Structure 1
Amino acid sequence: MLRHLPPDADLLIPVPLHRWRIWRRGYNQAGLIAAALAAQSGISAAGGVLIRTRHTPALQNMNGAARRRAVKGAFAIAAQDRPAIAGRHVVLVDDVYTSGATTDACIDTLCRSGAATVSVLCWARVIDAAPD
């Protein structure tokens, strides 16, 4: 993933999990990926800036439209953290990109909070030929 980092990236932000999911799982895989990328690239990772404000159901058995509904409004950035992303090129880091619903919701939140540009890096991409 390091070779795919945009050369003008300013900040790495992992897709957050809800605290209940972290407690159950014990880690956020996107956060681990972002931390490893930060260590190798020298670009800062900001793991607590983007937060998941509510628990969302597992998306694995939903179609694209249902996924978008499930994550709509599920992310936020606290007012005191907005200067950290204002005018910056943020790289959103995720483990698996399936329908894009989660990343789209995160991108919307980041852009509304002042990010100049948002790029997405993910570890894996699910290819689904089924229509939404």
Structure 2
Amino acid sequence: MKNFSKELNFKTSRSSGAGGQNVNKVETSVTVMWNIAGSEFFNEDEKNLIQNKLKNRINAEGFLFLTVSENRTQLMNKNKAIEKILDIVNKALIIPKKRLATQPSKTQKQNRLDTKKKLSEKKENRRFKF
């Protein structure tokens, strides 16, 4: 995945939330940006699949954004961002198997009817008869 990580652009910013003295000085939050259309790592079919599955995460210019501020160091956040974006893209490339519709077997149909009949008889026996 070395070629893929060359296509990523990084931007740093100050993390929000508690953090003591460093929170206002050090830019530890990392935003990773990837231009899907300009990627040379994937073919057109894979790009279309990624764009369709991740359309809610892609902006109008065609960039996939991901921000990570879990750790206290910029390097750890950068590594985590690369890991997460790879995971997201790999999951988007998975094509689910088509489900084959099946019919219930004769035994299953018969068991269902038997169960219905038993329940019906049980309720019939509860009725008050004159």
TM-score (norm 1): 0.27
**Which structure's CA Rg is the greater one?**
2
> Hey, which of these two has a bigger chunk of strand by percent?
1
TM-score (norm 2): 0.28
Higher relative contact order (CA 8 A, sep 6+): 1
> Hey, which of these two has a bigger chunk of helix by percent?
2
